[in-house]
Every structure is written in structure tokens, then in C-alpha cells.
């Protein structure tokens, strides 16, 4: 059954069939060939159950929040402000890419949206100032991955929904690893540019007065982040309510900066509907597939396989890590999450591991999948914003940051408190 699902998934994706449809087709295939009962008769109930959750309402709100900030021009102002503060480092403007991605990750909840935002704003600067296209674009692709780690994160919401874990606890757990990755990305960039200065372009400094004036463009984003995340942690609002408050805050920020127009609102709403429809189709399709797989006994089959290896819990986790890295080469990230979570997480919990900790470890591995070919979405998003050059340049530029993510995954395994410290201290 595992072979059938894996081969079917890769084959159907290779035909460019939408991921959500692929999941439904695989569900029908499992029902036809591996089940003694007509599982497809439960399709209507599965569709209703998978979509009838107040938690999932947060997804379109967070998508809309990011769309408003991008289309109102707030992203451009934020990038320019961070340019004044970090371009003196070795690597110059490359650090502004990571810093801007970090700030927008704290509001958008989407890696693809974050990467698209920064790429659109930053690419013209790279060509104008003579930066190495590989490192510059690779940093944008890697920085964009922070959108699913730093709260609020759509992927963490989906993980919490599927595992019945506390979303505020997941948000707390993702904060330190997310910020740690951002700092590590900048450190690696500085190290590369110290060894190869020609890759980093011109380091620029700005008068202190100009730097202080630039803070005006950063403060609203920081306030918005504090409003969303703080209201969740303090128990004043659920993630869904906080997302709605965040949309109102984003509109006020856009209005203050003069970025609100009927065109902007229409494009933001259309973009939100398209992205939300894609996410929900994947979630519902994966729920049906997971139902058929569980009913056909895949969970028992996989559990027996892992137990048959006779490995210790630590080695079992390392096998799961390798499994996610390999699957991440071929499967879109949200699909990978929703297909594997119902099967893998019970095994991890049975081994004695914390599901909150594993959720953060999984997100790091999912981040790696966003910038590893052939299906790394962020690579294609950044390449789409470039006016010249090949996709291979973006892949090579992202490679150092893939290694950083791998080290973070190993650090989380060795030191679980990196993820669990804040939930235990503030939970």
C-alpha cells in the first residue's frame, strides 16, 4: 500500500494535476484496491467534517492580512527601512532580505507569500547594485520559509487542527527556533561574504538621523505582531479572533500610509480567495485520503515496519527526519504535512516525545522542502520575480541555508528545550 500511494502521488503530480485532486484520486484508489468496504460512501461526511472547524477560519484571515500589507505598499517601506539598519553588515542588502522576510513572517503566516513579497521588492535592487544573483535570490527563498515557523503560521494552525494540539503553545514553541534561524541565516550570509566579498555587493551606511526616521516604517509592523500574538498568548483572543483583529490592524496601517484603494482591496480579496481555496482543497482531500489509509490499515503497517526495525526512539526519530527530507524533494509542503501527520504523529507520541516539540521539528523539515528541488515552491516564486538568470542559480544560492536548517533540526533533536522553553515557561 505504501508503494502504491508513493508511486501514485509522484506519478499524478508529474502530470501537473492539482495537488488537492491528486489526494482525492489516491483516496479512491486506496478504497478500490485495498479496502473490503466502500469507504468512498463516507466522502460527503469527510468533506463536511474536515471543513467544519472554527480553527480553520483563521487561515483566510491571515492570508488576507498578508495580501493587504503586500498590495498596499507597506512591504516596500519596510524593506527600505531595514536596508538602512542592516546594510552595513558583510553582505549588505542581502541581510535586508532576511530581516524583511522575518518581519513579514510575523504577520503573514505564509512562506510563499513572504518570499513573493520580498522578491518583488528586492530584485530590482540586486540588479541595480551589482549583487551576486545566486546568493541574493537564495537568501530571499530561505528567508521566506520563516513564514511557516514564526507565529502566526498557517502551517502550525493546520498541525494543531490535525493533532488537536494547542495552537498558542505551538506559536510559542515556534518563536525561538524561527528567530534563531533568521539570525543563523544572517550569520551564514556574513561569513560567506567575509570569505568572498565580491558576492555581497557594496556595504552601505546611513546617517543616524535617517536610521531613526526609518523606524517610523517598522513600528506599525511590530505593533501588529504584538497585537496578534500577544492577544493569543494572554488569552484575550483565539487564533481566529486575533487574525480578524490583525486584518483590521493591517487596514489601518495601509490607510495611514495612503495605500488603501478599491483596486488594492479587490486584488487582496481575490488573492485571499484563491489561496484559501487551494489550502482548503488540500486539507479536505488529505483528510479523505488519510481516512481511507487508516481504514485500510496503513497506520498499522507503518507502525509494524518501524517497530520491526528494532531501533531506539532516537534512531526512529532520525529515520522519520530522513523520510521527511526525501519526501520533501517531491511533495508540496502543506500536502506533505496533512498526509503524514495522522500517521507519523501517533508513532512519535507513542515513543514518548512531545507533540508540540515534534510539530516544530516537522516545520523545520517542511521549510527545507520549500527550498529544495524539484518541488521547492519558494525557488519558483523567487525565480518568477527575476528578470534574467536560471532556476539553478536560485537553487545554488539556497544551498547554504538548507544546511543551516538541517543543523537546526539536529539541534532541536539534541536540545528539545529550544522549542519547549517558552511553552513551559509561559504556558
CA distance 425 to 427: 6
Distances in whole angstroms, Cα of residue 239 to Cα of each of 60, 67, 85, 340, 398: 12, 18, 32, 24, 32
Interatomic CA distance for residues 46 and 427, integer angstroms = 33
Integer angstrom CA distances of residue 325 from 4, 296, 367: 20, 26, 10
* pTM as predicted: 0.81
Q: Do the Cβ atoms of 59 and 160 come closer than 8 Å?
A: no
Distance CA 136, CA 112 (A): 17
Q: Is the CB of residue 357 less than 8 Å from the CB of residue 317?
A: no
- Residues 113/67, Cβ–Cβ less than 8 Å: yes
Q: From residue 148, how far is each of 112, 320, 421 by CA, in Å? A: 9, 20, 19
Q: Do 85 and 203 meet the contact criterion of CB atoms below 8 Å apart?
A: no
The Cα 312–Cα 48 span in angstroms is: 40
Burial of 387: CB neighbours in 10 Å, binned 0-12, 13-18, 19+: exposed
Tell me how far apart the alpha carbons of residues 288 and 17 are, in angstroms, rounded to a whole number. Answer: 17
pLDDT at position 3, please? 67
**Residues 12-66: tens digit of each pLDDT:** 766 767 767 877 888 788 777 776 666 667 677 777 777 777 777 877 888 888 7
Among candidate residues 206, 195, 245, the one with its CA nearest the CA of residue 91: 195
CA 219 to chain centre: 24
Ranges of the chain with pLDDT below 50:
none
Residues in the chain: 427
pLDDT at position 225: 84
CA distance 379 to 362: 20
What pLDDT sits at residue 109?
67
Radius of gyration of the chain (CA): 21
Q: Within 10 Å of residue 44's Cβ, how many Cβ atoms? A: 9
Amino acid at each position: 500500500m505504501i508503494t502504491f500511494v508513493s508511486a501514485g502521488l509522484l506519478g499524478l503530480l508529474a502530470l501537473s494535476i492539482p495537488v488537492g485532486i491528486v489526494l482525492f484520486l489516491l483516496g479512491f484508489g486506496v478504497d478500490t484496491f485495498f479496502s473490503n468496504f466502500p469507504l468512498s460512501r463516507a466522502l460527503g461526511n469527510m468533506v463536511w467534517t474536515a471543513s467544519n472547524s472554527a480553527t480553520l477560519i483563521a487561515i483566510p484571515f491571515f492570508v488576507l492580512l498578508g495580501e493587504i500589507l503586500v498590495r498596499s505598499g507597506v512591504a516596500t517601506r519596510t524593506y527600505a527601512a531595514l536596508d538602512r539598519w542592516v546594510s552595513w553588515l558583510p553582505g549588505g542588502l542581502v541581510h535586508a532580505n532576511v530581516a524583511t522576510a522575518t518581519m513579514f513572517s510575523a504577520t503573514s503566516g505564509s512562506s510563499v507569500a513572504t518570499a513573493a513579497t520580498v522578491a518583488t521588492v528586492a530584485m530590482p535592487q540586486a540588479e541595480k547594485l551589482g549583487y551576486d544573483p545566486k546568493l541574493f535570490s537564495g537568501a530571499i527563498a530561505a528567508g521566506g520559509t520563516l513564514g511557516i515557523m514564526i507565529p502566526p503560521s498557517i502551517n502550525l494552525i493546520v498541525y494543531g487542527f490535525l493533532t488537536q494540539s494547542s495552537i498558542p503553545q505551538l506559536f510559542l514553541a515556534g518563536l525561538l527556533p524561527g528567530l534563531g534561524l533568521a539570525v543563523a541565516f544572517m550569520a551564514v550570509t556574513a561569513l560567506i561574504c567575509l570569505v568572498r566579498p565580491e558576492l555581497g555587493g557594496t556595504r552601505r551606511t546611513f546617517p543616524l538621523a535617517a536610521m531613526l526616521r526609518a523606524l517610523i516604517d517598522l513600528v506599525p509592523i511590530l505593533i501588529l505582531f504584538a497585537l496578534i500574538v500577544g492577544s493569543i498568548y494572554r488569552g484575550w483572543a483565539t487564533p481566529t479572533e486575533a487574525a480578524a483583529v490583525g486584518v483590521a490592524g493591517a487596514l489601518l496601517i495601509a490607510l495611514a500610509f495612503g495605500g488603501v484603494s478599491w483596486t488594492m482591496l479587490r486584488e487582496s480579496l481575490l488573492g485571499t480567495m484563491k489561496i484559501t481555496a487551494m489550502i482548503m482543497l488540500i486539507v479536505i482531500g488529505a483528510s479523505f485520503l488519510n481516512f481511507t489509509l487508516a481504514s485500510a490499515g496503513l497506520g498499522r503497517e507503518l507502525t509494524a515496519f518501524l517497530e520491526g526495525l528494532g531501533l531506539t526512539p532516537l534512531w526512529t526519530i532520525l529515520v522519520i527526519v530522513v523520510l521527511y527530507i526525501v519526501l520533501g524533494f517531491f511533495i508540496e509542503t502543506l500536502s506533505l504535512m496533512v498526509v503524514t501527520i495522522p500517521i507519523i504523529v501517533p508513532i512519535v507520541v507513542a515513543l514518548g516525545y512531545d507533540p508540540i516539540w515534534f510539530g516544530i521539528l516537522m516545520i523545520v523539515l517542511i521549510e527545507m522542502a520549500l527550498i529544495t528541488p524539484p518541488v521547492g515552491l519558494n525557488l519558483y516564486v523567487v525565480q518568477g520575480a527575476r528578470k534574467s538568470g536560471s532556476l539553478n542559480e536560485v537553487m545554488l544560492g539556497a544551498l547554504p541555508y538548507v544546511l543551516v536548517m538541517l543543523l537546526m533540526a539536529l539541534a532541536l533533536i539534541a536540545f528539545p528545550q529550544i522549542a519547549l522553553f517558552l511553552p513551559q515557561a509561559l504556558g
